[in-house]
Structure 1
Amino acid sequence: MDDKRRRARVQGAWAGPAKAAPHTAPRPAAASGKPQGWGHERVIPDKQFVYKEPTEVSRRIPDPQIIDKPGTYEISTSTSGVSRLRIFPSFIEPREVEWMFEQLHREIPWRQKSNVGPDGPYQEPRLTCWYGEVPYTYSRSTMQANPHWHPLLTMLKDRIGEVTGYNFNSLLCNLYRHDKDSIDWHSDDEPDLGRDPVIASLSFGETRVFQMRKKPPQEEQGDYTYVERIHIPLDRGTLLIMEGATQSDWQHRVPKEYHDRQPRINLTFRTMFPETKAQP
């Protein structure tokens, strides 16, 4: 009996302490194609769409105003004053327009002026001639005065003075030879023209569109995108008068075109005050 007990104690010592059952990690659930927690998603309440006004006002580029009827047009009012246009279609009768155009085209001493721009010298895309008592400087280039007025030009100057009441003493003649001849955006505001200069523009030959755009307010920093614009088709024999603050508040041009155009002559009468510079 004692031998059995002794053998049992020896065998128990060899066996050592009882081992704890190994920890078994839980087996992952078999993939079912659904995310865990399927059927227990958060319920998102229905949302109602609410329209909100945009924070920035949408701006629209205005369509140009077309002026093709006779009359007087006050196109703007500002601290500079009232900008005014007067249009006289058929100021020169149709039976006179043709022979006047031919004589001016043939007998005026046309030449191509060289100007100086931001990229250097360039040739104006038209021909010009300057009549008056003093030279005329614009675009960093000077035209010498031609004091010997052609008799037809003198007659036209006097006729315009009788109708408008203005006594002009100078004239810039422009010859647009074809559709690619043009004049870019500018104002006739040189100091020798004085304050609020009056420009009388008389057209012969092909009809071209005279375009105007209002100078932007200071906060626009020179951006002309949304300014007011005016288009005036200047037919042969038409007289256009620009008065008041037009040169202070507006720019004008005759753009290039992309279909055939016959020659056009434009006479722009003005008054020079070389002894009195415009006040700032």
Structure 2
Amino acid sequence: MAERRQRARVQGGWAGGAAGKARSAAPKAPAASNLAPADARPAWVRKDQRHTQKHFVFEKPSEVERRVPEAGVIDKPGVYELSKGPTGISRIHLIPGFIDSEQADWMFEQLLQDIPWGQRTHIRQDVSFEEPRLTSWYGELPYTYSRITMQPNPNWHPLLTMLKERIEEFTGYTFNSLLCNLYRNEKDSVDWHSDDEPSLGKNPVIASLSFGATRTFEMRKKPSPEENGDYTYVERLKIPLDHGTLLMMEGATQEDWQHRVPKEYHSRDARINLTFRIIYPEPDGVWK
């Protein structure tokens, strides 16, 4: 019995010694620093962070929708102030029935027959094309527009002289020139433009008298400098010009607005438009 105990102590002591040697031989792991703050520890060791982590989703900011304004319509008699700016007030005066229907009928027929209508040719970027309408010019001075010069024609038709005097009496303005336009059908037109040639002077007054088929006279405001010539969002107007209607354009209208008579898709009879104006000699005496 005593021998068995002795052997057990010897074996146990050998085993314990071997284990001790093994423990002393293993390298010691470095102790974690107690001075490092908890927040400085890597995020992956913080078990509670997995439950509080937020997910951010990028959302593109919504763009402000900019709508193209609907064109306004002017079809009632009256004086309309279109805009007001540094250049002045843009104003039109619409007078339907300035010439009553019965008189307008025979005037239209006489003008259609007696005026020496002609078709001018434009040259743009070395390409020539004919104006989609017929024209005629009356006045002591020539008139140049779109690089076309219409030579002086002092031989006023008596009916045109009578109409000029009637308009002058009604409006208080004096005119010395007249551009006549004949729109033969719905395919004839005039593109966007302003009557702002130097020979017309500053803030010209244009008296436009219509005979024949009703055509829509469209206007659009010139864009601000910030728009870089983009007419997409500018203010627009539509004005139906009936048989015998007088339209006056005054103030800064030619400076701040453009106008046109567009082609139409429905059949239209002939229309005559008389535009009375004041022409001044070119300062340098050269007509361009």
TM range (shorter): 0.7 to 0.9
Where in structure 1 are there 5+ consecutive unaligned residues? Answer: 1-41
Where does 1:1-280 land on structure 2 (aligned, <5 Å)? 54=62, 56-118=63-125, 120-276=127-283
Question: 1:46 & 1:134 partners in 2: Cα distance?
Answer: 80
Per-residue CA shift, 1:253-272, capped at 9, x if unaligned? 00011111100000000001
Question: 2:223 & 2:196 partners in 1: Cα distance?
Answer: 17
Q: What amino acid maps onto 1:180 in structure 2?
A: K
Per-residue CA shift, 1:3-59, capped at 9, x if unaligned? xxxxxxxxxxxxxxxxxxxxxxxxxxxxxxxxxxxxxxx9999989999862x3211
Per-residue CA shift, 1:133-169, capped at 9, x if unaligned? 0111111111112110000000000000001011000
* Alpha-carbon RMSD: 2.1
Q: What amino acid maps onto 1:156 in structure 2?
A: L
Q: Normalized against structure 2, the TM-score is what?
A: 0.77
Question: 1:43 & 1:124 partners in 2: Cα distance?
Answer: 77
1:169, 1:270 within 8 Å by CA — same for their partners in 2? yes
Q: Normalized against structure 1, the TM-score is what?
A: 0.79
Per-residue CA shift, 1:159-180, capped at 9, x if unaligned? 0000101100000000000100
Question: 2:139 & 2:162 partners in 1: Cα distance?
Answer: 15
Q: CA offset at residue 108 of structure 1? A: 0.2
Aligned to 2:37: none
Where in structure 2 are there 5+ consecutive unaligned residues? Answer: 1-49
User: What percent of counterpart residues are identical?
Assistant: 65
Question: 2:279 & 2:66 partners in 1: Cα distance?
Answer: 41
Question: 1:50 & 1:94 partners in 2: Cα distance?
Answer: 68
Aligned to 1:7: none
Figure out how many residues of one structure are paired with residues of the other and give that number. 235
Deviates more, 1:111-120 or 1:232-241: 111-120
Question: 2:52 & 2:116 partners in 1: Cα distance?
Answer: 85
Q: CA offset at residue 115 of structure 1? A: 1.8
Change (3 A) 1:48 1:120: same
- More helix as a share of residues: 2
Question: 2:220 & 2:247 partners in 1: Cα distance?
Answer: 16
Q: What amino acid maps onto 1:86 in structure 2?
A: H
Q: What amino acid maps onto 2:137 in structure 1?
A: W
Change (3 A) 1:264 1:45: farther
Per-residue CA shift, 1:186-241, capped at 9, x if unaligned? 00000000000000000000000000000001111111000000100000000000
